[in-house]
Structure 1
Amino acid sequence: MMREIRKREGASFFVQPFHHLDSLSILYAISHPALTPTSRGLLCLHLVGGLSNDLLVPHGQSVERWKERLSRALRGLSISISSDVLSFRPDNNDRENLVLDTLYRSITLCNRLSLTDIRLYLEQLFHTFRPHLFHVAEGLGFWAWYTLEEGRRYATLFDLEIRHQQRSKWNNKTIERGLSLLQESKTLSYEWGPQTLRASILAMKMQAASYEQSPWEDILRLQLILLSFDKSSEQLLAYIEALGHTKGPEYVLPIFQDRTCTDYRWIHAQAQLLKQLGRKKDALILYQHALHYAPELEQSVILNDMVDLQ
């Protein structure tokens, strides 16, 4: 039986219950190096969570075109993956980092879409997978990141971005538990993996008095290390943001001026830099461009950044 979890503008979003081992098989198959990080996150929500991808359709693209992209990804998945990895094998240690990364990206999307049912299901899936982890510290690092995110969940209802959130709305007890898990992860291994790095960066931002007062030099160092694991656009932008806070917006602005793209994330980031430099008219133009290309779920974030420019 399917459970309806959300309705929006006439569209329904469903969760199809799976047996956990079946879901692990799917998750394991999705976590393939031939797929991009974004594709893995979307496929996980679609195949494991049973989510329609309608909300993720960028502006100007039809739902049919988006579904065709998903179909191509599925075809590529079936071609790229050999039959011996189509079922979950807990003894494959090399694959677990990709599985954790897929869970990270899927849960991040769930947080942004407020898909509580799917997020909780993925949490259960992680706990089913966790006993098989070879890198125990990375499992703890992932759980620390998840717990820290839980600590700011109530504030997320009002604003998705940590830089805008009222810290009084955070759950300090949950955050303390996340910090304790992070410390335990660090004591288990001196070589931090991507999950421990992500949790550490988030912890630094949450422990600071304000977002602007975060220890950006330390964050920059960790972002650079994380970039060696995660070369996605999101991670590159996170590194550039930390660099901008450390060196100043004028230092990183030329990186954007040499780019011509329709990726709303890059356009939005450039608008943020122009806003910091006081070039409000130029920033407003770029914010409007970012809105044009952004999926519906991201538009509220951009609008919040535009508030004091109107």
Structure 2
Amino acid sequence: MTAPDFEDLLRELAPQVLGTLVRRHGQFEGCEDAVQEAVLAATLQWPAEGVPANPRGWLVTVASRRLIDQLRSDHARREREAATAAEPLPEDVPDTDDTLVLLFLCCHPALTPASRTALTLRAVGGLTTAEIARAFLVPEGTLAVRISRAKQRIKASGGSFALPVGAEREERLRVVLHVLYLIFNEGYTASSGSELHRPDLAREAIRLTRAVHAQLPGDGEVAGLLALMLLTHARRETRTTVAGDLVPLEEQDRKKWDRGLIDEGTELAKASLAGPTLGPYQLQAAIAATHADAATAEETDWPQVHALYLILERIAPNPMVTLNRAIALAETEGPAAGLALLAGLDDDARMAGHHRLLSVRAHLLERGGDPAAAYAHFRRAAKATASLAEQRYLESRATRIGPPAPGVAPSP
């Protein structure tokens, strides 16, 4: 087994082992530390000694021993240590996979969105604190404090290691899916830094969403989110040049898209739409499938894309949805129609100075025959994004147009 195979196996098993320990002993933070030590031990021993016949059971046993050692060394927990140490070490590890329960715990409503994301990547994704800090460009110490506080907040809130029921379960699942969506988005288009995307984060989001889908195969929104990720990730190799410069969707070499991911994502998208309810991830997956179905950019079914965005805007109002609908509307009714729709976003505080709004308006102004205004907006958009890849692309669009001639004032 190669080093990447070991890494994949351990990332798959770690949340299952953590779930087993938390269910048995409680103490989320102590259990997580014990699992990390067990994973480290496996990393050192398995390449030399071989993978044990029951790798999950091996990890549970080692982690349980580490946890007992921790309890014995903590004088403030003597009573708990006595009860735990009296338990025999597990010989038969249950086959139940607690990954979904662990995800629900990491996405506890008492946590902030940033804490949910960090804790999910740490406890369920198996990423180190340093890896998560690098992904989100924050100091490792800051992220470590954030994760530690998240664990303490879960403990203080009395969160139990069990799936919630009824309406609470549905609400918590929506939070889980949103966290996975945020992780994927950060991996697909990094919000800052020199790289356009972080494929490791995108792959991790897909892996975790597959785990949720495996346990909830009948949930349309889970299937829709997985489909959306697969269809979007299929374009990853064509989104940048060799030099790392951004390539927009209409200019990508569609022959190089990953057809395996597209086929799988398309089938999932179709299956998700067959259910009795319709959610935002299902609609976004349907939009992505429509783009993937077009052999060329010119063959895109823009009326269908616009219709889907219109439905999405009605069930999940969001300025980014309106922004994307404006692009589709411009393709069907012309740039003036798209610009008119964008005008409605100018008073939305969430979009004030946002580089996406500026860049889309610049694109439509250029198509509408106002190069001076397009140039000004592309320049403003480039200054508004923290992504160096996006900055280079937007500056190149401005350079291609060129500055307005002296005495020519851009449109507002």
Q: Residue 154 of structure 1 corresponds to which residue in structure 2?
A: 237
Counterpart for residue 272 of structure 1: 363
1:281 offset after TM fit, Å? 1.5
Indicate conservation of the 8 Å contact 1:148/1:203, yes or no.
yes
Check 1:271–1:45 CA distance in 2 against 1; reply closer, same or farther (3 A cut): farther
Alignment of 1:112-123 (within 5 A): 112-113=189-190, 114-123=197-206
How has the CA–CA distance of structure 1 residues 82 and 203 changed in structure 2, closer, same or farther, with 3 Å as cutoff? farther
CA distance in 2, matches of 1:221, 1:255: 15
Aligned to 1:83: 157
Distance 2:353 2:201 in 1: 30
1:192 counterpart SS class: coil
Q: 2:173 corresponds to which letter in structure 1?
A: E
Aligned mate of 1:100, from 171, 177, 199: 177
Q: How far has the Cα of 1:251 moved from its partner?
A: 1.8
Q: Report the Cα distance in structure 2 between the residues aligned to 1:132 and 1:157, rounded to whole angstroms.
A: 35
**Is residue 263 of structure 2 the alignment partner of residue 176 of structure 1?**
yes
Q: SS at the partner of 2:311?
A: helix
Q: Over aligned residue pairs, what C-alpha RMSD do you find? A: 4.0
Show CA shifts across 1:172-192 (max 9, x none): 2332232222223233x1433
Distance in 1 (alpha carbons) for counterparts of 2:151 and 2:314: 25
Q: Distance in 1 between matches of 2:271 and 2:226?
A: 11
TM-score (norm 1): 0.72
Alignment of 1:225-264 (within 5 A): 225-257=311-343, 259=346, 261-264=352-355
1:265 deviates by: 1.6
Q: Counterpart of 1:165? A: 252
Contact 2:104 2:163 (8 Å CA) reproduced = no
* Aligned mates of 1:281, 1:181 — CA distance in 2: 44
Post-superposition offset of 1:154: 1.4
Inter-CA distance 56–276: structure 2 relative to 1 (3 Å threshold): farther
Q: Distance in 1 between matches of 2:376 and 2:135?
A: 25
Match of 2:224 in 1: 141
How far is the alpha carbon of 1:309 from its aligned partner? 1.7
Deviation at 1:90, TM superposition (A): 5.9
Tell me if structure 2 keeps the 8 A contact 1:264–1:294: yes
Q: Mark the CA change 1:41 to 1:76 in structure 2 (over 3 Å): closer, same or farther.
A: closer
Sequence identity of aligned pairs in percent? 22
Deviates more, 1:192-201 or 1:243-252: 243-252
Any conservation in 2 of the 1:111–1:119 contact (CA below 8 Å)? Answer: yes
Q: Distance in 2 between matches of 1:274 and 1:31?
A: 44
Equivalent residue, structure 2, for 1:7: none
Q: Which moved more, 1:129-138 or 1:27-36?
A: 27-36
Aligned-pair CA distance for 1:121:
2.7
Deviations, residues 270-289 of structure 1 (Å, cap 9, x unaligned): 11110111211211111111
Alignment partner for residue 296 of structure 1, among 384, 387, 408? 387
Residues 79 and 163 of structure 1: CA distance in aligned 2, closer, same or farther (over 3 Å): farther
Look up the match of 2:209: 126
Structure number with the bigger relative contact order (C-alpha 8 A, sep ≥ 6) is 1
Q: Is the 8 A contact 1:56 1:295 kept in 2?
A: no
Is 1:208 equivalent to 2:291 in the alignment? Answer: no
Say if 2:234 and 2:261, in contact at 8 Å, map to a contact too.
yes
Amino acid at match of 1:149: T
Distance 1:246 1:82 in 2: 54
How far, CA to CA, are the matches of 1:173 and 1:34 in structure 2? 37
1:26–1:87: 8 Å Cα contact kept in structure 2?
Answer: no
The residue aligned with 1:185 is: 272
CA distance in structure 2 between the partners assigned to 1:81 and 1:164 by the alignment: 50
> For residues 96 and 267 of structure 1, what CA distance do their matches in structure 2 show?
34
SS at match of 2:297: coil
Match of 2:303 among 192, 217, 230: 217
Report the 3-state secondary structure (helix = DSSP H, G, I; strand = E; otherwise coil) of the residue aligned with 1:19. helix
Structure 1 residue 284 and structure 2 residue 347: aligned? Answer: no
* 1:202, distance to aligned residue in structure 2 (A): 0.6
Q: What displacement does 1:125 show?
A: 2.2
Number of paired residues? 285
Q: Secondary structure at the match of 2:189?
A: helix
TM-score by length of 2: 0.56
Post-superposition shift, 1:219? 1.3
Pairwise CA distance, 1:43: 8.0
Deviations 1:44-96 (A, max 9, x none): 66886545667868xxxxx79xx79x97xx99999899925575626412322
Residue 121 of structure 1 aligns to which amino acid in structure 2?
A: E
The partner residue of 1:19 within 10, 15, 20 is 15
Q: Contact conserved, 2:302 with 2:331, CA < 8 A, in 1?
A: yes
1:165 Cα deviation (Å)?
1.3
**Secondary structure class of the residue paired with 1:278:** coil
Computing the radius of gyration over CA atoms, which structure comes out larger, 1 or 2? 2
| Residue 226 to residue 18, structure 1, CA distance change in 2 (3 Å) | farther
Long gaps (5+) in structure 2: 1-10, 20-31, 33-98, 191-196, 403-412
Query: Do the aligned partners of residues 145 and 26 (structure 1) sit closer, same or farther apart at CA in structure 2, a change above 3 Å counting?
Result: closer
Matched, 1:111 2:198: no
Q: Give the match for residue 10 of structure 1.
A: none
